[in-house]
A and B are shown apart, each in its own frame.
Chain A
Amino acid sequence: MAKKPIEKTETDSQQRELVIRHLKTGWIGLLIFLSLGVLLEVLHGLKLPVYLDVRNSTRRLMWTLAHAHGTLFSLIHLAFACSLTVLGNKNGKSLPAAKLRTTSRCLTGAIVFLPLGFLLGGIWIFDGDPGPGIFLVPIGAILLLIGVVRMILLIR
């Protein structure tokens, strides 16, 4: 019977580093995407056709989605950091390092690709279709899903 390979676990300091990294990502993300929200409100306030004209409704939708998803994903990063803190040493053992790192990378990729895709997709638009930047969105969405699934598996 083959021996089950010993899974490397994250040391406390590495895990703490990860927590800090995601806290930073979350809070910086909030700063960026809430600022984007403020910017969108300014565009509303100034009634700028580039944003409000009905022919630019796709842009408006894309940028609204970038703001909403970016904010939500920032909160997910904070939740991830909190989860790591809460979970700490699961059953007296540290969480598996590789799985944690993959999850962390997936979530980081998601917060970059998905809001950026919406943002770029809204810069150049073709009537009802967003610009080519939109192709980043499914990449971000897949990374997010992987990250979430891995997190569920980690805490199972």
Chain B
Amino acid sequence: MPHRSDTGCGEASLDNNMKSDDDGGPTTSGSEPGRITMWAVAGLGMLLIASTVWSVHRSRASQREKAEMQRLLPHPRDDAYVSSNSCQSCHPGEYASWHKTFHRTMTQPAHPGIVAGAFDGSTVVSDGLEYRVYRKGDEFWAEMPDPEEMMYVVQGGKPTPLEKIPRVHRRVVMCTGSHHYQTYWVTGDPKYGNLLQTLPLIYLIKDKRWIPREAAFMKDPHDAKRMITQWNNHCINCHSTGGNPGLITKTKEGSFATEVGELGISCEACHGPAEEHIRANRNPLRRYALHRNSTKTDSTIVNPANLDHRRSSQVCGQCHGVYIRTDPHGMKYATEGIQYQPGDDIDEVRYYIAYPREGSPKRVWEEYEKNPDFYRQRWWEDGTILAGGREYSALSASACYTRGKISCLTCHSMHDSDPVDQLKPVGASNASCTECHSEPRFTARLQEHTHHEPTSSGSSCMNCHMPHTTYALFSAIRTHQIESPKIDSSAKYGVPNACNLCHLDKTLAWTQDHMHERYGTAKVALTQEQQEISAALLWMLKGHAAQRVITAWHAGWEPAHEASGDDWLAPFQARLLQDPYGVVRYVAHEQLKKLPGFAGFQYDFLGDEAALEASVRQAIQIWKMTGRSQAARGGNEILIGADGQLNEAAVQTLLRQRDNRTVEIRE
């Protein structure tokens, strides 16, 4: 009988076995293949058992994790909301087009693949306090000052030095944002229910870097007040569907049993709760009766496209507007959730704030008198909107809305549109305007009206009537207050106008002359500077932070380069790299990179003062070295002499006169 132990060598032993087989002796060699098969089967069996055990373990771990996340996240509502999953099977196209939007991903559970931030153990300093972000397997964590203690201290309830606040480890359970940047929410103390506290850091997705939260907003750079928020009572309103803060006031401190229809902006945010719709349409006869009659709307659901222009715009306005709740102290909202449903008259539950103008109702003036700062944080001084994300407030102040029939849906859609701006194909062209303004001077003979080539950016309705004079998210955004360029607003209040945001090299006087000549606009008195120096340079060098950020953005805008050239802007844009406001510096750098010679310009907008100053010098040097000064068109209005030399003295004079008023934009 063959054995393996005598030689201690597998090969020899195998040889013996083979020999025995040949000999045909009374050995087990005849069953050797059977033994191999047996071992193979046993091995496979073991493998199967192991993989089953492993997958069961994984599945249980995954279920435990799911249950844990369910406990930590806002709980799903069990009333009239059904979530987008229920809509998918009957409306696959609509579901798919919505699924591509950034509205859907507005707020999501913090899972791998969703979290954009680098939780790599790095430490970020926010207003002098350290925050360390790290991972434990598939979980995201932060080591940070106790957020509840912080909340009390910041809100003035406890006089503790911030650096003395004990440090804790909190799990990150939810993230907001997925397009430009992402911010995170950590678990609160369980005694407050499912309270979610802010992790005051922001991850810039394009730049792949963390920044402290305060650096992402236009706020007083010297204001040390920390930006502490809780998701449950504030952000839930617009960053989820059918949110109910679920404030429980039984205890002195209060706690939350927060619920949502769904995280992010989903189907029911615009169409209303769909439970009844789904129940009714389980009946195929009902569905086919509705299909037969395409003009008949389904009474169990709201379709914003079928509402009048006011009600349909209100659907978007529930988030994209400036309002106060009519519910006293907002307690109904805090305990029961959002009172508005799509299709309702939103003005019954909210008071939408309008900037007072001549002829405005008394209440509008009264509200303004109560808190003018509130208005300054959201509007330019002429009453056009400044803060991004308030498009409904802007639109509803436009004649196209008050006297016409324009609605958000004229240009935008959550379906079949570009996810970046949610613009329908028609909304990106003049077609949406010419639906109403169909006269030949706005269509076939467009140049008669615009005085620009019909195919040029100067003949785009939006570029003149909806310029980028709104700020949010490190960017200038088109105002939705549809108006004609107003020179008096620029002259009196310094509100950038469409003409000078494209013709960056022209003075306000130049614009006024053209407006007067072409459109008969009344002339207003202009200062010496406004007559002699480019309006854009005045806003950029001498203006306040809002003027600077808007102009800085336009310095990198392609239509402005076409109209004004791009080879003279760098030495002025460079000055903004040292601006007191972080967001101005960030935007200035981003747009500077679009100027010739600056594509790879390295700069950290959060660098120290010396580094910022060095960057300014370096940028000006690059401009000089690369021959821009020779290439640049000279002109007194752009402070560059005929010899291509920069009028540094004039630049310094304007910088010294800079409007250093505090600017805060509540985007």
Contact = CB atoms under 8 A, between A and B. Distances in A.
B15 interface: no
Contacts of A94: none
A129 B89 contact: no
A128 B291 contact: no
A128 B92 contact: yes
Nearest to A126: B291
Contact of A54 (B89, B96, B291): B96
A51 to B, nearest CB: 14
Interface string B572-604: 000000000000000000000000000000000
B288 A132 contact: yes
A57 B91 CA distance: 10
A55 B96 contact: yes
Contacts of A58: 92
Nearest to B93: A55
B571 to A, nearest CB: 51
B94 interface: yes
B288 A127 contact: no
Nearest to B290: A126
Given A129-B287, A129-B291, A132-B288, A54 B93 contact: yes
A41 interface: no
Interface string B283-308: 01001100100000000000000000
Contacts of A57: 92-93
A53, A54, A58 — most chain B CB neighbours (10 Å): A54
Interface string B84-115: 00000111111011000000000000000000
B460 to A, nearest CB: 30
A56, A127, A132 — most chain B CB neighbours (10 Å): A127
Contacts of B92: 54-55, 57-58, 127-128
Interface size classification for chain B: 10 to 19
B414 to A, nearest CB: 14
Interface residues of A, number: 11
Interface in A31-68: 53-58
A8 B291 CA distance: 49
Interface string B34-63: 000000000000000000000000000000
A128 B89 contact: yes
Contacts of B288: 129, 132
B96 A128 contact: no
Contacts of B89: 128
Interface in B251-296: 284, 287-288, 291
Contacts of B291: 126, 129
Nearest to A135: B288
Contacts of B93: 53-57, 127
Nearest to B287: A129
Nearest to B99: A54
Interface string B160-180: 000000000000000000000
Contacts of B96: 54-55
B89, B91, B97, B291 — most chain A CB neighbours (10 Å): B291
A43 B624 CA distance: 59
A134 B93 CA distance: 20
Nearest to B294: A126
Nearest to B284: A129
Interface in A100-135: 126-129, 132
B90, B93, B287 — most chain A CB neighbours (10 Å): B93
Contacts of A128: 89-92
Contacts of A132: 288
A151 B92 CA distance: 41
A129 B97 CA distance: 18
B336 to A, nearest CB: 33
A53, A56, A129 — most chain B CB neighbours (10 Å): A129
Contacts of A56: 93
Nearest to A54: B96
A126 B286 CA distance: 13
A56 B93 CA distance: 7
Contacts of A126: 287, 291
Nearest to A60: B92
A127 B90 CA distance: 6
Contacts of B287: 126, 129
Nearest to A53: B93
Interface in A125-156: 126-129, 132
Contacts of A127: 90-94
Interface string A55-90: 111100000000000000000000000000000000
B300 to A, nearest CB: 15
A131 to B, nearest CB: 8
B107 to A, nearest CB: 24
Nearest to B291: A126
Nearest to A58: B92
A127 B91 CA distance: 5
A126 to B, nearest CB: 4
Contacts of B284: 129
Nearest to B91: A127
Nearest to B89: A128
A62 B181 CA distance: 42
A113 B287 CA distance: 22
B82 to A, nearest CB: 15
Nearest to A132: B288
A55, A56, A58 — most chain B CB neighbours (10 Å): A55
Interface string B66-92: 000000000000000000000001111
Contacts of A54: 92-93, 96
A21 B288 CA distance: 38
A109 to B, nearest CB: 22
Nearest to A129: B287
A57 B97 CA distance: 13
A5 to B, nearest CB: 43
A127 B277 CA distance: 15
A57 to B, nearest CB: 5
A25 to B, nearest CB: 31
Contacts of A55: 92-94, 96-97
A81 to B, nearest CB: 36
A47 to B, nearest CB: 16
B98 to A, nearest CB: 11
A128 B96 CA distance: 13
A54 B98 CA distance: 12
A121 to B, nearest CB: 11
Contacts of B91: 127-128
Nearest to B88: A128
Nearest to A55: B93
A53 B288 CA distance: 23
A58 B90 CA distance: 9
A132 B93 CA distance: 20
Given A56-B93, A127-B91, 6 more contacts: A54-B92, A128-B89, A129-B284, A129-B287, A129-B288, A129-B291
Interface of B: 89-94, 96-97, 284, 287-288, 291
The 7 nearest A-B residue pairs measured at CB: A55-B93, A128-B90, A54-B96, A126-B291, A57-B92, A127-B91, A54-B92
21 contacts: A53-B93, A54-B92, A54-B93, A55-B92, A55-B93, A55-B97, A57-B92, A58-B92, A126-B287, A126-B291, A127-B91, A127-B92, A127-B94, A128-B89, A128-B90, A128-B92, A129-B90, A129-B284, A129-B287, A129-B291, A132-B288
